[in-house]
Structure 1
Amino acid sequence: MTSNAPLILAADIGGTNTRVALLDGTVLRAQTVTRYQNAKSSGLEDILRHYMDAQRATPDAVSLALAGPIEDGSGRLTNLDWAIDADSASAATGGAMGVLLNDLQAQGHALPFLAPDALKSVQRSDEASKDAPCLMIGIGTGLNVAPVHRIGTHTYVPAAEAGHISFSARDAALGAFEDDLEARLGHVAAEDIMSGRGLERAYRHVTGQDLPASDVMALCGNGDQNADTAAGLLIRALGHFAGDMALAHLPLGGIYLVGGVARALLPYMDQHGFRTCFADKGRFSGFMAQFSISVVDDDYAALVGAASYAQECLGAT
């Protein structure tokens, strides 16, 4: 622990739960990690006040990573009707400097601090460069991407809403799934298929039955053929999507898949041809071998990344 590191209060705000922790710079105080159920709180300020009362700390900054778009220091969660702004967070934490970033941006800021065993390899490449851009692809409640650029001593992670681009099937089975969704949804966005909800829709498409995504993956682990078929639809779609994003951003520093759905699908990626779909780029197929791909398995990465961003904003790096 660095004695002069700023004390950062970081929050990882999802649609269902919010996790809050204190960090000395980017060093997590593990005993301070607290999880709150959003449904039991009136808003983020309520959570922050309860946390401050419990910790009796005086943070130098509060950094909020939220699952939704941010504009001019405020944001709204995509899957929860909470409006969040930096000034309110600052007031709730005793006047600490408040900063906001998208949760996937926070994952990008966490990359330099990930332990080697937190990265599960999907595709290795000898041509990966630590100085080249990286790309985060988040697949969980929704889908999004965030390119990561290291510029001098600073990390720049621009926001995106790539989960809402139009989906385009590349095989007959995905085409039938897309047609099914289009009949019910109209426009089919990428995250309508590549997300937890997408897995539930895939299972419904295969079986005609509704089942939570966690139950679908449990069945998949038990060898259920229908669940395996549903997971395969997502994996192939994700392979094609990741390949498209790789060509758009050229992340020769690596592609990093994050989120609960990405972790759940990892054991089945090879058997369902993720890398084959990723490389399905015609005359550029050979080029796709240059990209290393990993799944990130670190529950606290967004907290560390949010703290790193706040530290840069404080000018303490």
Structure 2
Amino acid sequence: MKHDAPLILAADIGGTNTRLALLDGTQLRAASVSRYANAKADNLEEILRNYLGAQGTAPDAVSLALAGPVTGDHGRLTNLDWSITTQGASEATGGAKAFLLNDLQAQGHALPYLGQSALTHVQCAAPQCGEPAANAQAPCLMIGLGTGMNVAPVHRLGARTYVPPAEAGHTSFAPQDQALKEFNTALAARIGHVASEDVLSGRGLEHAYLHTAGAPLPAVEIMALCAAGDAPALSAAALVIRALGHFAGDMALTHLPRGGVYLVGGVARALAPYFDDLGFAASFAAKGRFSDFMAQFAVHVVKDDYAALIGAASYAQECIGAREQPF
């Protein structure tokens, strides 16, 4: 079958689940979205073969967004012992051209395709509010909070998108107020080196609740307690939210994302309703004599759960159109 746009199989591969979808270029076929539990498969290739067998079609390209570092044509998941290669993906999909990128990079490649309805606005960029950046080519910054945490700057260069890789979740956590310093000290006594994602992630919320309540609890249950007004749960959420504000502000000064800061991932979406009450904006702006400068950066939460799939497909389409790997 001939397609006006390449038929792309996109995969969003996490430590627990893999989501797959078919896209005509960057147009998602919503009915094709499927989720697979990684624990039920021996490897990604098995999932790809099972999915295409159910869909009864062969893609022109396969684009893999994975939660872990990527080097050339090889990647490894941070929270699952799977090694993933473009060769293996191509062979599992009948010889489709295969591409590989980090999952947060994929989120960055999705940005040009996200409308205002896909976003929750946390902070408007002065002087405009709820409007696109004046310069569509302005750099943006993705901060992903889920099982882990990472950062990806996004640059639009003409019709192409440049999203350099990073492993910012493993930078050292830098607490900025007394309560966060006490939390950091207690956490370091338990786990040793405290990385940023030990606080800014699902397990970070669990670490924070153990600190405030003295008992372990899964992140999803902590958020349920927050909704019920539980004081230790809200105190734990406040620690994570303030830490996120300080970290996001640091990253904004590092990258100057005048196109906006975009928070993505399940933890970011879960915490977003509490940002106003639990101190995100004040922490984001707490940069001494540069506090007023921080008002120029819009901050959004990405609500579109399919963004990584769309971004993976966009990356593949740019590769195909350019006849080369984008940057």
Interval containing the TM-score (normalised by the shorter chain): over 0.9
For residues 61-92 of structure 1, give each alpha carbon's deviation from its aligned partner in whole angstroms, at most 9, with x where no partner exists: 10000000000211110000000000100000
Aligned amino acid, residue 76 of structure 2: R
Tell me the SS of whatever aligns to 1:247. Answer: helix
CA distance in 1, matches of 2:53, 2:213: 49
Q: Which of 159, 167, 182 does residue 161 from structure 1 map onto?
A: 167
CA distance in 1, matches of 2:284, 2:141: 14
CA distance in 1, matches of 2:284, 2:42: 43
Give unmatched runs, 5+ long, in structure 1: none
2:276 is equivalent to residue 252 of structure 1: no
Tell me the SS of whatever aligns to 1:138. Answer: strand
Report what 2:151 is aligned to. 145
2:79 is equivalent to residue 79 of structure 1: yes
Report what 2:282 is aligned to. 276
Q: Which of 184, 189, 209 does residue 203 from structure 1 map onto?
A: 209
CA distance in 1, matches of 2:232, 2:51: 44
Aligned amino acid, residue 193 of structure 2: H
**Superposition deviation, residue 31 in structure 1:** 0.9
Are 1:177 and 1:202, in contact at CA under 8 Å, matched by a contact in 2?
Answer: yes
CA distance in 1, matches of 2:191, 2:28: 42
2:271 is equivalent to residue 265 of structure 1: yes
Q: What does 1:120-139 align with in structure 2 at a 5 Å threshold?
A: 120-125=120-125, 126=127, 128-129=133-134, 130-139=136-145
CA distance in 2, matches of 1:159, 1:200: 27
Tell me the SS of whatever aligns to 1:100. Answer: strand
**Superposition deviation, residue 235 in structure 1:** 0.2
**Superposition deviation, residue 3 in structure 1:** 5.3
- Structural RMSD (CA): 1.3
2:64 is equivalent to residue 61 of structure 1: no
Aligned amino acid, residue 228 of structure 1: L
CA distance in 1, matches of 2:247, 2:3: 44
Are 2:141 and 2:153, in contact at CA under 8 Å, matched by a contact in 1?
Answer: yes
Tell me the SS of whatever aligns to 2:59. Answer: coil
TM value normalised by structure 1: 0.98
2:96 is equivalent to residue 105 of structure 1: no
For residues 257-288 of structure 1, give each alpha carbon's deviation from its aligned partner in whole angstroms, at most 9, with x where no partner exists: 00000000001001111011001111110000
Aligned amino acid, residue 241 of structure 2: I
Aligned amino acid, residue 180 of structure 1: A
Report what 1:309 is aligned to. 315
For residues 159-182 of structure 1, give each alpha carbon's deviation from its aligned partner in whole angstroms, at most 9, with x where no partner exists: 100011111111111011000111
CA distance in 2, matches of 1:255, 1:98: 30
Report what 1:118 is aligned to. 118
For residues 111-169 of structure 1, give each alpha carbon's deviation from its aligned partner in whole angstroms, at most 9, with x where no partner exists: 11113211000000136432210000001111100000001110000010001111111
Aligned amino acid, residue 113 of structure 1: Y
2:238 is equivalent to residue 227 of structure 1: no
CA distance in 2, matches of 1:67, 1:226: 31
Q: Which of 175, 178, 188 does residue 182 from structure 1 map onto?
A: 188
CA distance in 2, matches of 1:107, 1:168: 26
TM value normalised by structure 2: 0.95
Report what 1:173 is aligned to. 179
Range with bigger deviation, 118-127 or 217-226: 118-127
Report what 1:21 is aligned to. 21
CA distance in 2, matches of 1:95, 1:245: 40
Aligned amino acid, residue 248 of structure 1: T
CA distance in 1, matches of 2:41, 2:262: 32
Are 1:191 and 1:198, in contact at CA under 8 Å, matched by a contact in 2?
Answer: yes
**Superposition deviation, residue 184 in structure 1:** 1.4
**Superposition deviation, residue 316 in structure 1:** 6.8
Report what 2:6 is aligned to. 6
For residues 217-268 of structure 1, give each alpha carbon's deviation from its aligned partner in whole angstroms, at most 9, with x where no partner exists: 0000011011000000000000000000000000000000000000000010
Tell me the SS of whatever aligns to 1:170. Answer: coil
2:296 is equivalent to residue 290 of structure 1: yes
Regions of 4+ moved over 3 Å: 126-129
Aligned amino acid, residue 270 of structure 1: D
Are 1:6 and 1:316, in contact at CA under 8 Å, matched by a contact in 2?
Answer: no
